[in-house]
A and B are shown apart, each in its own frame.
Chain A
Amino acid sequence: RKEVEQDPGPFNVPEGATVAFNCTYSNSASQSFFWYRQDCRKEPKLLMSVYSSGNEDGRFTAQLNRASQYISLLIRDSKLSDSATYLCVVHVLTGGGNKLTFGTGTQLKVEL
């Protein structure tokens, strides 16, 4: 089983649509969870952290279900500028340090 699994997409949606991405992770010792955004050939940029209580940042809502090892991201009223690859990322504390484990990403294309 992959450490972090995402549907690669692409999700093609019209402007203004609501779109949801899901992610599952296999390491139950995972500590923190994030959604990153990556534009073509650019670096990953932190979109938001994900908490069990759910958190919202403008049009973006993230949710974590630790029991099911499941993470979600909801984008409301999608804009053309939301077109990107959304990376589900899990943070693991290891014996000596820490690392991020990335999913393969879900590609979103918002169209007129």
Chain B
Amino acid sequence: EPEVTQTPSHQVTQMGQEVILRCVPISNHLYFYWYRQILGQKVEFLVSFYNNEISEKSEIFDDQFSVERPDGSNFTLKIRSTKLEDSAMYFCASSRDSNYGYTFGSGTRLTVV
């Protein structure tokens, strides 16, 4: 079964450092997303990406966040200057079209110290 792959599975970084979280969506999917889940809280939408541009973003996705699809397979989330409150599980997801169910990756656990 096709899957969404995320790396690394766990990242520890110092406050103020930049991090890049990587994702390889399912190959024939056209829509890509990042969600996050702070420990003990609900899954929250960050951003959706289609046709090489952001199609929707939440209030959480401020100027410190950016996404990129640098080549035909990778989809990255960059946090420029990490804060303690950025510590969370970050999930990448992809879907074939905007009405279809999403497939989530296994997540990157980001710990900011």
Report whether over half of chain B's contact residues are helix, strand or loop; otherwise say mixed.
strand
Could you give, for residues 27-67 of chain B, a 1 whenever the CB lies within 8 Å of some chain A CB and a 0 otherwise? 00001010100000111110010100011101000000000
Task: Assess whether B105 is interfacial by the CB under 8 Å rule.
Answer: yes
B102 touches A100 (CB 8 A): yes
B56 touches A98 (CB 8 A): yes
Question: Which residues of chain A come closer than 8 Å to B44, judged between CB atoms?
Answer: 102
Given A41-B89, A44-B91, A44-B104, the answer on whether A98 and B42 have CB atoms closer than 8 Å is: no
B101 touches A99 (CB 8 A): no
Question: Which residues of chain A come closer than 8 Å to B50, judged between CB atoms?
Answer: 97
18 pairs, A vs B, C-beta closer than 8 Å: A43-B106, A44-B91, A46-B102, A87-B43, A94-B55, A96-B56, A97-B31, A97-B55, A97-B56, A97-B98, A98-B48, A98-B99, A99-B33, A99-B58, A102-B42, A103-B42, A104-B42, A105-B42
Task: Assess whether B25 is interfacial by the CB under 8 Å rule.
Answer: no
| A contacts with B, residue count (CB < 8 A) | 26
A98 touches B104 (CB 8 A): no
- Residues of B near any A CB (own CB < 8 A): 31, 33, 35, 41-45, 48, 50, 54-56, 58, 89, 91, 98-99, 101-107, 109
Task: Assess whether A34 is interfacial by the CB under 8 Å rule.
Answer: yes
Instruction: Choose one: B43, B56, B91, B99; the contact of A31 (CB below 8 Å).
Output: B99
Instruction: Choose one: B41, B55, B101; the contact of A96 (CB below 8 Å).
Output: B55
Contacts A41-B109, A43-B106, A95-B56 aside, 5 further interface pairs with beta carbons under 8 A come to: A42-B106, A98-B99, A99-B58, A104-B42, A105-B42
